């Protein structure tokens, strides 16, 4: 797990939501508190979040965006091909990086090892050092509240920010609806 960030994604009520904290750390120092680690891709139809270094994020976001264009926005085909390419590249596969990508129907976690993981519940996914804190909070909120997806993501990352020293509460959120 990376000492880098917290990204949480949620599919609920026909909405796709992704959120990320804004903290960038270097060793035991905070370099920046307002970084944006999430993006809309492919004409605003796909959401993506990244845990890892900034330069790697730009490279992988661009690579995935190109894959989406080649596959005409088909998320499943894109994640499979992207993971193959990421794993085959001798430099990129050594990156300590992960991505979450989703549309309003599917959500995936991607790694340089070639992993394409669709969460068992099909609803929540997280990455980064605060990811387990955020997804735990999100699961509790789903189970015990009627919270709408955007608020659920924001509150869950806030909770992660209270527990993970690599996560702050300067949260960015992006949403897609059917």
Burial class (CB in 10 A: 0-12, 13-18, 19+), 27: exposed
Cα 55 to Cα 71: distance, rounded to the nearest angstrom:
25
8-state DSSP, 45? T
Rounded distance, CA 101 to CA 121, Å?
Answer: 15
CA distance 38 to 15: 16
Residues 6+ apart with CB under 8 A from 43: 73
Q: Helices 149-163 and 131-144, interaxial angle, to 10°? A: 140
Q: Is 167 a catalytic residue?
A: no
Q: Mention every residue, 6+ apart, whose C-beta is less than 8 A from residue 141.
A: 147, 152, 155, 156
Q: Which of 165, 128, 143 is nearest to 18 (CA)?
A: 128
Which residue numbers are catalytic? 5
């Amino acid at each position: 797990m990376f000492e880098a960030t917290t990204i949480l994604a949620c599919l609920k009520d026909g909405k796709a939501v992704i959120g990320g904290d804004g903290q960038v750390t270097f060793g035991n120092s905070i370099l920046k508190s307002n970084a944006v680690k999430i993006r809309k891709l492919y004409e605003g139809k796909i959401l993506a979040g990244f845990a890892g270094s900034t330069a790697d994020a730009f490279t992988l976001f661009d690579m995935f965006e190109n894959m989406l264009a080649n596959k005409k926005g088909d998320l499943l085909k894109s994640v499979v091909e992207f993971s193959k390419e990421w794993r085959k590249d001798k430099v990129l596969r050594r990156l300590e990086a992960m991505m979450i990508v989703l549309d309003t129907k599917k959500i995936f976690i991607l790694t340089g090892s070639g992993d394409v993981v669709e969460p068992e519940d099909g609803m929540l996914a997280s990455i980064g050092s605060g990811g387990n804190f955020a997804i735990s909070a999100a699961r509790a909120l789903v189970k015990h509240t009627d919270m709408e997806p955007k608020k659920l993501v924001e509150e869950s990352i806030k909770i992660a920010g209270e527990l993970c020293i690599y996560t702050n509460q300067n949260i960015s959120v992006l949403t897609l609806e059917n």
